[in-house]
Structure 1
Amino acid sequence: MEKRRSLLSAPSHLEYGHLPTFQDDGIDLLELLSAIWQRKMHILLATTLGSVIALAIAFWLPNVYTSTVMLAPSSDQQGGGLSALASQFGGLASLAGVSLGSTAIDTTAIAIQIGQSRQFAVRFVRDHHLEVPLMAATRMNKKTGKLEIDSDIYNTAEKKWVRKVSEGESVEPTDWELFKVISKIITIEQDKKTGFITVTVDFLSPTIAKQWADWFVDDLNAYMKVRDQIDAKRNINYLKLQLEKTSVTDMQTIFYQLIEEQTKTLMLSEANPEYVFKTLDPAVIAEEKTKPKRALIAVLGTVLGGMLGVLTALIRHAICRRRIAGT
């Protein structure tokens, strides 16, 4: 009982005037603004420095020009007699060991995949001797229009690669290195809605970009043409052998029709240079650069510099505040 009375008579911290005090750890916006204002010169200096660095980078980056070719699947690949035979006699042809193929969409898709492949890209670079401009060019001389070659990578006088590489690596660019670079410069894509194909080339020289775009389309058409010619000749030889072995009239008729269509494929491929892709909008020499966006780089550099300045000011304010609180 006495113990209970002592507890009841003990002073309570909840009585008026004896409320516990808590340290306010909230963010004082006015204090932060004051800290920023006190260090405004430091923020201005950081902003200016960021702007200068961004401008230096923007003007150091070389101009890049874009050349684009708009293509459509060639009318010779739009089905025709071979597709009709594929639907009518495809099963028998498969039994005979002959592939008739399918539609133009398949041919176009195959051509696009080949254009994106490492084998075709490296072959394109090697056939046109693009290794030096691809790997050693730094920028285009605006007065002469010629590419400037980095002498630390390639010696133009001796026509020799002199770049520094790790022990065991090749001084001359490997196929894998060429593919990594060319795949970033030349792209081929198809619009899923329209079916049109776009070949885009980004390079230091507008003239060279246009030339490479033309070469790429020509080489891809030529590659697909040779590929189909080889397949057609092989199919014709095989069908002739099967024709000699069979005495069934219906099978002979089918074989004659298959041989006829394969022969048409050979004739069309030899007569049409735009075998797979027909040019709708040819490449032109660009008059304006595509990259870099110097104004955007300068704005981003200024903003980042200002943000870094404000962040530094707040960090210094927090450090000073802790030191004062510690004393």
Structure 2
Amino acid sequence: MSEPLREGNNIDITSINPWIILVFLKRNFFKLAIFAITFGCVGYALSFLLTKMYLSKTLLLPEQPISNNGALSSLVGGLSGINNAERIGALRTDIYPNILRSVPFALALLKQPVQDIDNKNYPSLNDFIKRSSEGTSLFEKLLGKKKITNNDKHIVPEKEILSLSNDEESSVQRVMSLVNTTIDIKSGIITIQCEMADPIVAAQVTQAASTYLLKYVEDYRTGKTVREVAFLEERVLEAKRREQSAELLLQQYRDRNRNPFLNVARIEEQRLQSDYTLAQSLYMDLVRKLEQSKIKVKEEQPIFKVLEPTTISSKTSKPRRLIIAGIFTILGGVIGIVFIFFINRK
């Protein structure tokens, strides 16, 4: 076994057959075992230095759009490239993860008040993150250097344009990495999960993300109708005032002319009566449309069924010590093979 390995630097790897390798492993089994076990124990010990993480998740089942026209409508929609969700104005479920990866969501989540496992209240998630991490990495703490950032904001006149400082951008990116949203294409089930060192905060972040998603989808579905309701409510108030004014003018005219014998007086009364009738008809029509719009808002509200509520995890999800120990064990075995191989070459 040792002879082929002592031929110097001109060893042809392709000439080594599997039998030689098996003999090498058999002869050095205990040495390799010591390397593997040692590295495995070291990896298992190092896993205790890693931060414990807790996973919190919730499962949601959104409303599935159904076509009212049957198979023919589905066929026409398929040929035209428009699916059922697009026809009824629903938001496609495959866009939901993008909603929870947006900057507005991250900014809203950073303002969410939280309470940690020690029952300590924080005015916002951003304060909790800053106090738990203190804004510096382990390398910077060892060097004693403070992270230099530029906190200046650019002033922009447009309200639709966001201006974030470096610290805010860093916080936004960190919050985006906390929440993970996945969708099962077959069943349509939405899974929202968050993994943090504090199980209580992780559950609160998961619940806040779920609430934000439901509110966003509801605003998308009912936003147009809600604006229509607000518009009609203003028009109803104007029509009501117009009706009351027309009625008041008509009654005042009748009080002043109780015994009209002139045709001119009758014409004026008819005109006032016509204005009142028109104002009353307009008011009733607007009231009817307002009630229809309110009903439409209820009809367009999305339906989400909570299959699994947000729970506080009592078991750690990370670090996975056995996996870490297994990786170190394999690494130790490989290092042991290389080490013994080069020792035998000398």
Does the alignment reach a TM-score above 0.5?
Answer: yes
Q: Give the superposition deviation at 1:311.
A: 1.1
Partner Cα distance (2:177, 2:33) in 1: 39
Which residue is equivalent to 1:72?
Answer: 61
Please give the secondary structure, in 2, of the residue aligned with 1:174.
helix
Query: What is aligned with 2:111?
Result: 126
Name the structure 2 match of 1:204. 197
Alpha-carbon spacing, 1:66–1:285, altered in 2? closer, same or farther (3 Å): same
Match of 2:146 among 164, 172, 182: 164
Which stretch shifts more, 57-66 or 173-182? 173-182
Q: How many Å apart are 1:48 and its aligned residue?
A: 4.5
Distance 1:63 1:258 in 2: 57
Letter matched to residue 114 of structure 1:
I
Q: Secondary structure at the match of 2:147?
A: coil
Aligned residue number for residue 176 of structure 1: 169
Match of 1:277 in 2: 304
Summarize the Cα distance change of 1:176–1:102 in structure 2 as closer, same or farther, 3 Å threshold. Answer: farther
Q: Which residue of 2 aligns with 1:190?
A: 183
Counterpart of 2:294 in structure 1 is 263
CA distance in 1, matches of 2:289, 2:107: 35
Which string of whole-angstrom CA distances, capped at 9 and with x for unpartnered residues, describes residues 232-280 of structure 1?
2444577999xxxxxxxxxxxxx999876643344568xx7xx553322
> What is residue 146 of structure 1 aligned with on the other side?
none
Q: In structure 1, how many angstroms separate the alpha carbons of the residues matched to 2:188 and 2:287?
A: 34
SS at match of 1:166: coil
CA RMSD of aligned residues (A): 4.5
Q: Which amino acid aligns with 1:311?
A: V
- The corresponding residue for 1:57 is 46
Q: Deviations over 1:47-98 (max 9, x none)?
A: 3442243123211112212222111125xx85699x9xxx9xxxxxxxxxxx
Aligned-partner Cα distance in 1 for 2:311–2:149: 43
1:132-143 equivalences under 5 Å are 132-137=127-132
Any idea what SS the aligned residue of 1:280 has? strand
Contact 2:149 2:167 in 1 (8 A): no
Distance 2:226 2:21 in 1: 84
Write the letter of the residue equivalent to 2:129: L
Distance 1:35-1:66 versus aligned 2 partners, 3 A rule = closer
Q: Is the 8 A contact 1:64 1:205 kept in 2?
A: yes
What's 1:117 paired with? Answer: 102
- Partners of 1:257 and 1:80 lie apart in 2 by 28
Amino acid at match of 2:199: P
CA distance in 2, matches of 1:35, 1:280: 53
Q: What TM-score, normalized by structure 2, do the two folds share? A: 0.55
User: Percent identity, aligned pairs only?
Assistant: 20
The residue aligned with 2:341 is 314
| Secondary structure in 2 matching 1:70 | strand
SS state at 2:317 partner = coil
In structure 2, what is the Cα distance between the partners aligned to 1:317 and 1:39?
15
Q: 1:293 aligns with which of 296, 320, 329?
A: 320
Q: How much has 1:108 moved relative to structure 2? A: 3.9
Query: Corresponding residue for 2:329?
Result: 302
Distance 1:294 1:258 in 2: 64
Count of aligned pairs: 242
**CA–CA distance in 1 between the matches of 2:194 and 2:49?**
22
Q: Give the secondary-structure state (helix, strand or coil) at the position aligned to 1:164.
A: coil
Q: CA deviation at 1:301?
A: 0.7
- Tell me how far 1:309 sits from its aligned partner: 1.3
- In structure 2, C-alpha distance between the alignment counterparts of 1:280 and 1:39, rounded to whole Å: 52
In structure 1, the residue matched to 2:262 is none
* Compared CA separation, residues 168 and 240, structure 1 to 2 (3 A): closer
- Could you tell me whether the CA contact under 8 Å between 1:189 and 1:198 is conserved in 2? yes
After TM superposition, the score normalised by the length of structure 1 is 0.57
SS at match of 2:110: helix
> Unaligned 5+ residue runs, structure 2?
1-9, 74-84, 114-123, 138-143, 153-164, 235-285
CA distance in 1, matches of 2:21, 2:57: 56
Higher mean Cα deviation, 191-200 or 224-233? 224-233
For the Cα contact (< 8 Å) 2:150–2:166, is it kept in 1? no
Give, in whole Å, the separation in 2 of the partners of 1:112 and 1:31.
Answer: 50
Q: How many angstroms does 1:165 deviate by? A: 1.6
